[in-house]
């Protein structure tokens, strides 16, 4: 979960919390570059639904698109493992 705070100077500050262990600092598993690439993957897959080409997004659609994404192999494998579960 992400908490958004606004500092006294007006600047936003985001704190990520792992609800399973809220007392520990949460360290994101993905870099900003990997998150950007995942947003691009989602946008490409979603566009097919928005255009009427597809009725729904499937796991297979996401896995296929992930194979062409510029992601580190361990990140790609982790995401595909989550999608298959």
Averaged pLDDT, 35-48? 91
pLDDT category at 76 given cuts 50, 70, 90 is confident
Q: Residue 2 has what pLDDT?
A: 82
Residue 54 reports pLDDT greater than 80: yes
- Average pLDDT (13-32) is 82
Three-state secondary structure call for residue 54: coil
Give pLDDT, residue 10.
92
pTM for this entry: 0.61
Question: How does DSSP classify residue 3?
Answer: E
CB 13 within 8 A of CB 7: yes
Instruction: Answer whether residue 43 shows pLDDT above 80.
Output: yes
- pLDDT interval class at 79 (50, 70, 90): confident
């Amino acid at each position: 979960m992400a908490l958004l705070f606004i500092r006294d100077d007006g600047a936003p500050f985001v704190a990520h919390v792992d609800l399973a262990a809220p007392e520990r600092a949460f360290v994101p598993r993905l870099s900003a570059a990997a998150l950007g690439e995942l947003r691009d993957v989602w946008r490409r897959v979603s566009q097919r639904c928005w255009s009427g080409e597809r009725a729904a997004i499937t796991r297979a659609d996401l896995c296929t698109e992930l194979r062409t994404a510029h992601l580190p192999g361990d990140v790609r494998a982790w995401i595909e493992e989550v999608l298959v579960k």
